[in-house]
Copies of this chain bind each other. A is one copy, B any other.
């Protein structure tokens, strides 16, 4: 077996198998359980912070869940795991169960559709199914949602900072192994227009994008032919959309004049040059100077592509400096801003500043032997780690301006404001902290969950609205972000958007915590 065979159900933590063995042994293999996937805090990059996340990864997760099954070879490998005394780690009865039930065909998932805006503590996915199988899914689900959500969130922020200019994903050379394919998809969901990743683009049915590297110029130089001839060779191969990298020798004294010479030749031959790429130096200063040189030569539409350790903060800073310098240099600032393109790599694909989303998957309910649902809770010394117990629904409440103002968790049979009365929205962890909202302040209440996967049908049912093609996902993301208050969208020190509990959900949580605590102190 090779590390590059992709994921199966054993793409999981060892302890999931250890627990599943207990479930099977103790007669709990058919008990239905409910697990919630949620995260606790938005990414905090240090000097800047996310005010929301873009839920990403659901489509690939559901596609994967449809047909994976533990293989005989894997069961055989597990049968040879031994304890320190030489006994088998996994009992034959459990391995038989795993060979038969090592799949996700008994699970049902309700979820917030992919590419929507989500917030801390909102149950993004609710998994219901037999306890050991739902447990087994934990690791893969977290893995397949946490990282793409982190990257789509960062991408959406970079798109915002670029103020309408296109952004390209360039991260695969320093990104985390084969996960760069997942990151490319996430970047496109978050609003990037393209990726340099050819394989991911082909798989996703889109076109990859890119220019050329310094190596092209170096090769021509080593061959005694120099930068201008290298540019000419590249232009012969790509006369349309020709973007030339101008910083190999000296951006303003060599790269730009040579690029303009080649652009003039392209223009004479009836082509429209694409533009130039700047990959080092003071990018703001060089952009303004490059724009000036291009304008003087009549290439007012040629684009200026920037790369080199960009992220939302560096783009913001570059734009700020450019605005100042453009004025001083007599360059038309709105036009300059509009002709920019940003290639963003390492800092996007590693989510520079906060490299992991703290998404968790928590047991919140279990059917008892009579088939009654019992809520489950974890009593932690840290109150922020107490999950929202029991079966539930999630809603988004919009104010009279059409802005999303709060997400609310209720019990499954409740609908917010159905009684026409004001509603208390309780803080999920701070007891006694609540806000009251009147029906007159509300323009719309939207259910956030839908059934996105039912593995019990043959073949499994996947809701078409759970995910979608890239254009659909990108639009959904953009539209959802547009409903947020400007303060929540802010790149630095954003307002906190609250996910709240209604009265009954809060009461259940409070009671369960008290009961668990009393089992210790009482």
A-side residues, CB < 8 A to B, are: 1-8, 10-19, 21-23, 25-26, 28, 33, 35, 60, 63-64, 74, 77-78, 81-85, 87, 89, 91, 131, 135, 138-139, 142-144, 146-148, 170, 172-183, 185, 196-204, 207-216, 218-219, 221-224, 226, 233-234, 236-238, 240-241, 247-250, 253-254, 272, 280-281, 346, 349-352, 355-359, 361-363, 365-366, 368, 374-382, 385, 516-517, 519-521
Contact = CB atoms under 8 A, between A and B. Distances in A.
A15 to B, nearest CB: 3
A31 to B, nearest CB: 8
A10 to B, nearest CB: 4
B356 A174 contact: yes
B84 A241 contact: yes
Contacts of A74: 202
Nearest to A281: B381
B177 A144 contact: yes
A123 to B, nearest CB: 16
6 contacts: A14-B208, A81-B207, A87-B240, A91-B237, A143-B173, A143-B178
A492 to B, nearest CB: 20
A196 B173 CA distance: 27
A366 B25 contact: no
Given A12-B199, A15-B211, A19-B216, A177 B143 contact: yes
Contact of A17 (B77, B138, B198, B224): B198
B185 A13 contact: no
- For the complex of A and B, list the 4 residue pairs with the smallest distance between their C-beta atoms, beginning with the closest: A14-B210, A177-B179, A350-B355, A15-B210
Contacts of A144: 177
Contacts of A361: 173
Contacts of A84: 240-241, 272
Contact of A1 (B23, B142, B202, B226): B202
A366 B219 CA distance: 7
B519 A249 contact: yes
B212 A520 contact: no
A17 B223 CA distance: 20
Contacts of A381: 247, 250, 280-281
B60 A376 contact: no
Nearest to A351: B355
B378 A214 contact: yes
Contacts of A234: 18-19, 22
Contacts of A237: 18, 21-22, 25-26, 91
A209 B142 CA distance: 19
Given A146-B173, A352-B355, 6 more contacts: A3-B203, A18-B238, A19-B215, A89-B207, A178-B182, A280-B385
Which of A84, A175, A200, A237 has the most chain B CB atoms inside 10 A of its CB? A237
B233 A26 contact: yes
A363 B215 contact: yes
Contact of A223 (B25, B219, B221, B374): B374
B6 A5 contact: yes
Contacts of A7: 4, 178, 199
A363 B143 contact: no
B173 A142 contact: yes
A222 B174 contact: no
Nearest to A60: B3
Contacts of A182: 3, 176-178
A155 to B, nearest CB: 15
B22 A216 contact: yes
Contacts of A226: 519
A489 B198 CA distance: 40
Contacts of A212: 15, 18-19, 22
Contacts of A170: 13
A173 B139 contact: yes
Contact of A174 (B142, B174, B280): B142
